[in-house]
Structure 1
Amino acid sequence: MYALAINGSPRKGGNTETLLRAALAPLEKGGWETEFYQLGGRQVRGCIACYKCFERKNRQCAVANDCFNEVMEKIIRADAILLGSPTYFSDVTAEMKALLDRTGLVSIANGRLLRGKIGAAVIAVRRGGGIHAFDSINHMFLMSQVIVPGSLYWNLGFGLDKGEVESDAEGLNNMKNLGETVDWLGKAMAPHKDSYPTDDSNYG
């Protein structure tokens, strides 16, 4: 099984990356193939509502001059997707928002590519707004028929400066539990991977 962690923070080696890697560690221990993808700081534009993904149905976005299709290919292959972001004005980064919108639409346009995958949001927050950012990611997951596992608490880690989140013992423990839960869920789901409900009658 393959787990993909996508870092929406432009700060490499920062608190969001620390949290994501802490969540990946139990999956690596459990025998998963894991990958960490640095999205933040790269060029990825928002959805332009051209709807060519519905015409072409090639599992790609028509906007091909940024990194989106590269990461979308990885998302399609993944059994579990961890999306991480710091909190920018009580929401996710612009790069993460662009990824959410385009991933959700390309998935729907191509027969719901995310259906039955496992998805988890991971948020680094200085003080407030983390729950809103957490919800922004989970809304796309839930509208895409992704299975969203719970953990010990909201998947938040507190810190501002690089490395500060490492002092948040509760947050790091939550990441460990999240990874263990995804590991358990993925292995429990594996025998039933192809039996997820497929009724798309409400989506045209």
Structure 2
Amino acid sequence: MKVLLVNGSPHANGCTFTALTEVADTLKTHGIETEIVQLGNKPISGCLGCGVCMKKGNCFMDDPVNLFLSKVKDADGFIFGSPVHYAAASGHLTSFLDRVFYGKSDLFANKLGAAVVSCRRGGASSAFDQINKYFTISNMPIVSSQYWNQVHGNTPEEVKQDLEGMQTMRTLGHNMAWLLKCIEAGKNAGIPLPKREPKTATNFIR
């Protein structure tokens, strides 16, 4: 079993990375393979709605989106982390997620998802809610923790002093490992994945 963790901060080893590392280290204690994907600090374009990816499978833009999508089929869970910018996820991560999930919900269906946010003081709840919406439109069970998945601090050292936040990250790791093993046990017991109906789209203006 494998979990991909995405660092949506331009700072490779900053506060968001510190939180994600705490989750990853906890998952490893359960024998879960992890990989932290760094989005880096180069620009990532938002989705243009051109539909090329629907026809060819990949986006025409050569950036971290296609590399990440190549890893999705081998992953069983995903954790997307972001610093909080103006009470929202970073523009970097938002552009990334818009393109990763556009028309590709089948790749993520029935796989676990979780959001992690890092902030100095406020805005964490709205950013957390924003990221979770990608899961709830893609048939993904959301993994919870003992509190909303957030840490506070201006530096990695300050984040480590947020004892409740770091404990929340560890609890998230334990809960994700448990659910992954429950799903695997269900498969081994012959319990099928939920049957999905053909999708019906209802437009309000005809």
Q: Is TM more than 0.5 here?
A: yes
Aligned to 1:107: 104
Partner SS for 2:86? coil
Partner SS for 1:190? helix
2:29 maps to 1:54 = no
User: Quick one: which amino acid aligns to residue 10 of structure 1?
Assistant: P
Deviations 1:123-168 (A, max 9, x none): 0011111111111110011111111021100000000134210000
User: Quick one: which amino acid aligns to residue 107 of structure 1?
Assistant: K
User: Quick one: which amino acid aligns to residue 170 of structure 1?
Assistant: E
Aligned to 2:74: 77
Query: Paired residues, what number?
Result: 198
Q: Which of 180, 184, 187 is matched with 1:186 structurally?
A: 180
Aligned pairs (5 A) from 1:164-183: 164-183=158-177
Q: CA deviation at 1:29?
A: 0.9
User: Quick one: which amino acid aligns to residue 18 of structure 1?
Assistant: T
Aligned to 1:93: 90
Partner SS for 1:120? strand
User: Quick one: which amino acid aligns to residue 176 of structure 1?
Assistant: R
Q: How far, CA to CA, are the matches of 2:98 and 2:201 in structure 1?
A: 17
Q: CA deviation at 1:102?
A: 0.9
Partner SS for 1:188? helix
Q: Which of 125, 138, 148 is matched with 2:132 structurally?
A: 138
Q: CA deviation at 1:199?
A: 2.0
Partner SS for 2:55? helix
Partner SS for 1:82? strand
Alpha carbons of structure 1 residues 177 and 45: separation in structure 2 relative to 1, 3 Å? same
- Asked if structure 1 preserves the Cα contact closer than 8 Å seen for 2:10 and 2:39, the reply is yes
Larger displacement relative to structure 2 (190-199 or 118-127): 190-199
Partner SS for 2:102? helix
Identity of aligned residues (%): 34
Larger radius of gyration between Structure 1 and Structure 2: 2
Aligned to 1:127: 121
2:152 maps to 1:155 = no
Q: How far, CA to CA, are the matches of 1:42 and 1:80 in structure 2?
A: 26
> TM-score scaled by structure 1?
0.91
